[in-house]
Every structure is written in C-alpha cells, then in structure tokens.
C-alpha cells in the first residue's frame, strides 16, 4: 500500500511504435516490428482516430507475429487500419489525492464533471496491482483486529453488523430504497467516524449518476466523496476496469488512516462487461455463457478490499435467479446480504430490508458479543413465528389466536415498526429529523420489547422513531 501515494509523474509518450492491424469493436490488434518491442500485459498503448481523438488501449493478450491484442477504454469509432500506436511502457495510472473529493473521474482518471482539470501534484497510482502485496500491507494497517463500524442504522447494526474490511451485498429492484440506504450509510460513516467514501458507478445509467451527484451535494457530503463512473454507454473495457479505479481511490484513502466506505453499483455489470470482452477476445465461454475467467476476475477484485475499506455492493440478480453463476461467484465473497423487499417498502417500512430473506456471517457471538447475538437470534425467531401466524391472522383474525401466539404476533409488529428509522438524507421527504442510534440503545430497546416491558404500548408508537424513549 505504501506506493499508492507515491508521486508518479506521467512521462512523455516516446515508446515503441506499432501499427493497428485490426479493429473488432472495442478489441484492437497492434503489430510491432520486433518481439523486443512488445509491451507487457496491462500496459497502455495510445493511438488516434483520423479525427485526432486519442484512444487508450490496454494490452490483454500476446499473439503470434508480434501482435498485442488490446481492449479499448474509449470508443474505437473512426480508428483506421495502419494508424500509429505508441506503447507507453507503463500500466494505467490515475491521479490520487484529496483534490479528488467532490469530483467525478472516468476509468483513466480524467474529470468528467465539467469542473476543469484535477491537479494532484503529480501523485498517481496504478489501477492494476499485485493482490498479494496489497493484502500483506493492509494487514499491517488493520492490525489484525475485528472492529465493528457503527452505522447508526438500527436494523443494519443489529442484524448486519459492518466489520472493517467486510463486504455487504445490497439486493433490490428499482424504487426499493437502495440509494437512500446507501446515502444514509455514507452520511453516518462520514459524519460519525470522520470517514470518507468512494462511489464507483459500474455500467449503470447516466441519469442515476447525475441524480446521485446532486443528492450528495444537497445533503452536504459531496466534499467527503470521490466518484468514478464507467457508465452504460461506454465500451466494455471502461465498464470492466472502472471497478479497479474505484478500489485504487479507496486504497489511497486507507493509507491516510481514514474509515473508507466503498460503494459499487452495480457489480453484476462488471461481470457482464468481462463476459463481453471475453467473447470478443475469442475465448471459449463456459457452459452458462459466462467468461471462463469469471471466478478469478471476481476474486481478484474482492481480494483487494481489505483493512479499513468496508464495501457495499449493489448486485443485480438476472431474472431473480439467485443460482445464476455470476451472482453465486459474487455472493461467495460477501459477508452479508441485505435483501430490500418491495412489499416492505410499499408498507412504508424504511429501510425496507427483509431480515428473514437476508443473512450475515458477521452476526457471531465472537464478533458482536453474546448479548447482541442472543437478542438478534430471538428477534429473528419471533419474526419467523409471526410470519407463519400472519397467514392465519389474514383468515381468522388476531383474536382467534392463543394467548401466547397473540403476544408473539404483537411483539413482532412492534419490532418490525421499531426497525424503521427517520433518516438524515430523507428529512425533506419524511419531515422528520434523522437520528443516529447507538448499538447499545438498539439492544436495550429490543430487549425491552422481547421481555414484554412494552406490551402495554401501541405498535404505532414504535414506527419511525430513533430510540425507544
């Protein structure tokens, strides 16, 4: 990690010259005269279209005849055969520094927010790095401790505790509240832990990135956020590598001793871009149509998320098929999976996380403590029992239940309402001031409801409140 903040000047391009011999969409073949002139893998090659637009190529394979097969990071429209291509002799580097706060860059580190150039004093970092070296250095930074990051969101802290260096998947359809939940997490971690955030937009709509920027600006946290976008209209090379650009920014912040929240939207689009590139490179796909390198690509990315970098990953599930190979490959690296329920959202239960469909491996007595673990398991037991009773209540009514079942059902309703919360980033919508709730306060309140000390109170009293008092 020590080399992340090292000054790496961008040298003048005076490398070996080759010629473009083939252009197949985003895949470009460049031929060099001698084998000694061949660039290494992941090195950048610069060429120009006939209308003088510069195109950056990343070397992906070496072919016979001194040909470097490359993936373009920009559109190859108007790129001609026999165009001069110059090997830069270096891997792709991006600017790193506090000057990137509040700015938006693309996969090559160039600003795309219309606010002019970014001057970081020559500090640059490579986006392709040795995973083993990154992991080794980060362990020194982390000190080998399991440390919980308090988010102030009751349902997250109680059932999906965020551990430094953990990876949490956020699954949900359009309009389920993914953005609001993520913005609240960003707001709370930035404000409470003096943390910073990196938002990485991978293959999503331009409209979403635009809206997110102005929402961050409105709630006043833009100056603590770095943004990198490889959007839906860009070539697969940009959508595939933008995730590495985002992680490189997060690694820089980590070396500064900051708590880092890395949000990636959408990790499935990263896999999708990799599949497009793999097909264009002529690789034989796996039985399910995905690239044969699927597992290694997903693994390399997740192995770099270490130390104080806590990642939240939005994951699109194609056709709601949880067994899809891409989804399975991503899920195998996640410590927690939060499923946002459309039904709960429509009922006004915000955040709309369904605790019975979600899971978290960090919810362990050795990590969160015995009391926290016992209360969370009892809460899940009560909610599971209430879900069974809900279908009965819909038919015969609550008054026909036995006394014990009726008590369990009512407590579950109170717990469900208590898991809602007024959010800082949604104050203009709800009219309620946001609240940051400590883990201890959440545990005390859940214990009171489960013990029956709140049985005399109406369930409406627990809706959209912070602490139980």
Tokens (6 digits) for 467: 């602490």
Q: Tell me, what CATH number does 416's domain have?
A: 1.10.1140.10
Last residue of a domain, one of 66, 91, 116: 91
Please indicate, yes or no, whether residues 304 and 329 belong to a single structural domain of this protein: yes
Domain count for the chain, please give it: 3
Residue range 96-148, pLDDT digits in tens: 999 999 999 999 999 999 999 999 998 999 999 876 665 444 544 444 557 88
Please indicate, yes or no, whether residues 193 and 258 belong to a single structural domain of this protein: yes
Decide if 113 is inside a domain: yes
Weakest mean pLDDT among 24-38, 78-92, 312-326: 312-326
Q: Tell me, what CATH number does 145's domain have?
A: 3.40.50.300
Decide if 322 is inside a domain: yes
Please indicate, yes or no, whether residues 324 and 238 belong to a single structural domain of this protein: yes
Q: Which pLDDT score, from 0 to 100, does residue 7 have?
A: 37
Q: Which pLDDT score, from 0 to 100, does residue 145 have?
A: 58
Last residue of a domain, one of 362, 391, 406: 362
Containing domain of residue 174, as a range? Answer: 95-362
Please indicate, yes or no, whether residues 411 and 336 belong to a single structural domain of this protein: no
Give percent of the chain above pLDDT 70.
94
Please indicate, yes or no, whether residues 101 and 195 belong to a single structural domain of this protein: yes
Please indicate, yes or no, whether residues 22 and 55 belong to a single structural domain of this protein: yes
Please indicate, yes or no, whether residues 118 and 42 belong to a single structural domain of this protein: no
Indicate the SS3 state at residue 13.
coil
Please indicate, yes or no, whether residues 101 and 86 belong to a single structural domain of this protein: no
Q: Tell me, what CATH number does 50's domain have?
A: 2.40.10.170
Q: Which pLDDT score, from 0 to 100, does residue 104 have?
A: 95
Q: Which pLDDT score, from 0 to 100, does residue 51 have?
A: 93
Tokens (6 digits) for 9: 């000047």
Please indicate, yes or no, whether residues 342 and 389 belong to a single structural domain of this protein: no
Q: What is the mean pLDDT of the chain?
A: 89
| Beta strands 148-149; 162-163: pairing state | antiparallel
Residues near 414 by beta carbon (within 8 Å), at least 6 away in sequence: 449, 454, 457, 459, 462
Please indicate, yes or no, whether residues 332 and 452 belong to a single structural domain of this protein: no
Please indicate, yes or no, whether residues 355 and 304 belong to a single structural domain of this protein: yes
Q: Which pLDDT score, from 0 to 100, does residue 87 have?
A: 95
Decide if 469 is inside a domain: no
Residue range 84-98, pLDDT digits in tens: 999 999 999 999 999
Q: Which pLDDT score, from 0 to 100, does residue 13 have?
A: 57
Residues near 387 by beta carbon (within 8 Å), at least 6 away in sequence: 356
Residues annotated as catalytic (active site), given as ranges: 178, 204-205
Rounded CA gap, 377 and 159, in Å?
A: 9
Residue 91's Cα: distance from chain center in Å? 24
Last residue of a domain, one of 57, 74, 91: 91
Residue range 138-176, pLDDT digits in tens: 544 444 557 888 999 999 999 999 988 899 998 877 778
Residue range 401-410, pLDDT digits in tens: 999 999 999 9
């Amino acid at each position: 990690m020590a080399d992340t903040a090292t000054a790496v000047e961008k040298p003048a391009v005076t490398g070996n010259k080759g010629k473009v011999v083939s252009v197949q969409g985003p895949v470009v073949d460049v031929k060099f005269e001698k084998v000694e002139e061949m660039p290494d893998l992941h090195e950048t090659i610069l060429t120009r279209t006939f209308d003088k637009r510069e195109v950056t190529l990343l070397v992906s394979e070496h072919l016979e005849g001194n040909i470097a097969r490359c993936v373009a990071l920009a559109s190859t429209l108007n790129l001609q055969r026999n165009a001069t291509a110059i090997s830069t002799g270096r891997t792709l580097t991006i600017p790193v520094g506090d000057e990137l706060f509040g700015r938006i860059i693309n996969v090559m580190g160039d600003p795309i927010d219309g606010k002019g150039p970014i001057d970081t004093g020559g500090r640059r970092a490579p986006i392709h790095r040795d995973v083993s070296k990154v992991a080794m250095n980060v362990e020194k930074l982390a000190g080998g401790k399991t440390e919980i990051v308090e988010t102030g969101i009751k349902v997250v802290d109680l059932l999906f505790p965020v551990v430094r260096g953990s990876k949490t998947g956020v699954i949900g359809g359009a309009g389920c509240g993914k953005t609001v939940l993520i913005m609240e997490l960003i707001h709370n971690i930035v404000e409470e832990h003096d943390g910073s955030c990196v938002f990485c937009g991978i293959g999503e709509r331009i409209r979403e990135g635009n809206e997110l920027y102005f929402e961050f600006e409105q709630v006043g946290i833009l100056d603590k956020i770095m943004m990198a976008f490889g959007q839906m209209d860009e070539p697969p090379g940009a959508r595939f590598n933008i995730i590495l650009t985002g992680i490189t920014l997060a690694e820089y912040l980590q070396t500064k001793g900051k708590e880092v929240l890395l949000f990636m939207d959408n990790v499935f689009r990263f896999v999708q871009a990799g599949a497009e590139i793999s097909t264009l490179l002529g690789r034989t796909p796996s039985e399910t149509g995905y690239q044969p390198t699927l597992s290694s690509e997903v693994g390399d990315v997740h192995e770099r998320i270490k130390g104080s970098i806590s990642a939240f990953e939005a994951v699109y599930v194609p056709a709601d098929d949880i067994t899809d190979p891409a989804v399975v490959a991503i899920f195998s690296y996640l410590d927690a999976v939060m499923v946002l329920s459309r039904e709960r959202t429509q009922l006004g239960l915000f955040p709309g996380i369904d605790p019975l469909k979600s899971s978290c491996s960090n919810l362990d007595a050795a990590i969160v403590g015995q009391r926290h673990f016992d209360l969370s398991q009892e809460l899940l037991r009560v909610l599971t029992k209430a879900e069974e009773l809900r279908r009965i209540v819909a038919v015969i009514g609550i008054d026909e239940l036995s006394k014990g079942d009726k008590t369990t059902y009512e407590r579950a309703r109170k717990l469900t309402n208590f898991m809602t919360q007024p959010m800082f980033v949604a104050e203009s919508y709800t009219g309620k001031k946001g609240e940051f709730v400590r883990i201890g306060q959440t545990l005390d309140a859940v214990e009171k409801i489960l013990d029956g000390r709140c049985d005399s109170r109406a369930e409406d009293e627990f809706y959209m409140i912070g602490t139980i008092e």
